[in-house]
Amino acid sequence: MNHLPQAWGRPRDDVYGTYDRSYLQTSTPNSHTQSPAVTGTSVLAIKFNGGVAMAADKLASYGSLARFTDVKRIRVFDKTTVVGFGGDISDMQYIDRLLDSIDVEENYSSNGNTLNAKNVHTYLAKVLYKRRSKFDPLWNQILVAGFDDDSKPFLSSADLLGTTFSAPHLATGFGAHLAIPILRRLFPEEMPVENIGKEEAVAALRECMKVLFYRDARSLDQYSLAVVTSDGVELKEDEKLEAQSWNFAENIRGYGTQVN
């Protein structure tokens, strides 16, 4: 008998060839996300007197390919909260189903769904953190807008690492570089949220969406716009950028016809 216990009970290599050890495995290896595939770009949001406004364009890119042009990246939760997704679209759809299921479960109770935006944000941050700790992240940055326990406007962010933070205005992706400075200039952070009107806030978001369309190659001129107030959520999903002016591009290399 062979003196190697490992070989006992196995077909002999010299007769049957090398033993294929992959058959010993009971299951296929786990696969973890290493990089996002189809992605959405910026989400923007801003608090105003009595609510929060949020915008996100409708493009889903596959690398540099503009793959889908009608993807809604803002969803409503329980008529009181909106959630905006940047990053991987399939992970967004998975999280969307998670939110659907907790909404259903919550509605079993006699008081209906009592989860507010703050509760939803805590929940999502925990989901994202748990997945990153398993080295299998949900590749998203998420903005949650609505109201907190004291019925004050609430806006907070959570990302694929589980990092959370909140501010009077937030943006994901390219928006963090391009829109935040605009919003901070229009509405300085020491300015009380009560001084910002709903129309002002929405107009600022539209302006930021325009700047993003000019400068973010993975963006689109069609977008969703959500406004949360104590009356509920007003979600418009077929907004278009108005009054674009490409004059600025004339002398910029890379835009339009190149002269030299």
| Residues taking part in catalysis | 33
Q: Which residue is associated with the tokens 């929405």?
A: 202
Mention every residue, 6+ apart, whose C-beta is less than 8 A from residue 214.
244, 246, 248, 249
Between 22 and 109, whose beta carbon lies closer to other proteins? 109
Q: Is 46 helix (H, G, I), strand (E, B) or coil?
A: strand
Q: Mark the segment that binds other proteins (CB under 8 A) among 45-53, 125-133, 193-201, 208-216.
A: 125-133
260 scored as a contact of other proteins (CB under 8 A)? no
Q: Which residue is associated with the tokens 């107030």?
A: 229
Between 105 and 199, whose beta carbon lies closer to other proteins? 105
Closest CA to 206 of 68, 57, 48, 69: 57
Q: Is 64 helix (H, G, I), strand (E, B) or coil?
A: coil
Q: Indicate the helix (H) or strand (E) that contains 141.
A: strand 140-147
Q: Indicate the helix (H) or strand (E) that contains 40.
A: strand 38-40
90 scored as a contact of other proteins (CB under 8 A)? no
**Residues 3 to 62: which contact other proteins by CB under 8 A?**
32-35, 37, 62
Whole-number minimum distance, CB 17 to other proteins, in Å? 27
Q: Which of 123, 210, 221, 234 is in the footprint of other proteins by CB under 8 A?
A: 123
Q: Which of 73, 118, 206, 218 is in the footprint of other proteins by CB under 8 A?
A: 118
| DSSP category for residue 17 | -
Cα 177 from Cα 161, distance rounded (Å): 20
Q: Mark the segment that binds other proteins (CB under 8 A) among 105-113, 195-203, 224-232, 233-241.
A: 105-113
Cα 92 from Cα 87, distance rounded (Å): 8
# binding residues, other proteins (CB under 8 A): 38
The beta strand positions in 58-200, using DSSP E, are 60-62, 65-68, 74-77, 81-88, 140-147, 153-159, 164-165, 169-171
135 scored as a contact of other proteins (CB under 8 A)? yes
Q: Which of 66, 68, 90, 167 is in the footprint of other proteins by CB under 8 A?
A: 167
Q: Is 47 helix (H, G, I), strand (E, B) or coil?
A: strand
**Residues 220 to 259: which contact other proteins by CB under 8 A?**
none
Q: Which of 10, 12, 79, 177 is in the footprint of other proteins by CB under 8 A?
A: 177
122 scored as a contact of other proteins (CB under 8 A)? yes
Cα 246 from Cα 254, distance rounded (Å): 13
- Contact positions vs other proteins (CB under 8 A): 32-35, 37, 62-65, 109-111, 114-115, 118-119, 122-123, 125-126, 129, 132-133, 135, 137, 149, 157, 161-167, 176-177, 180, 189
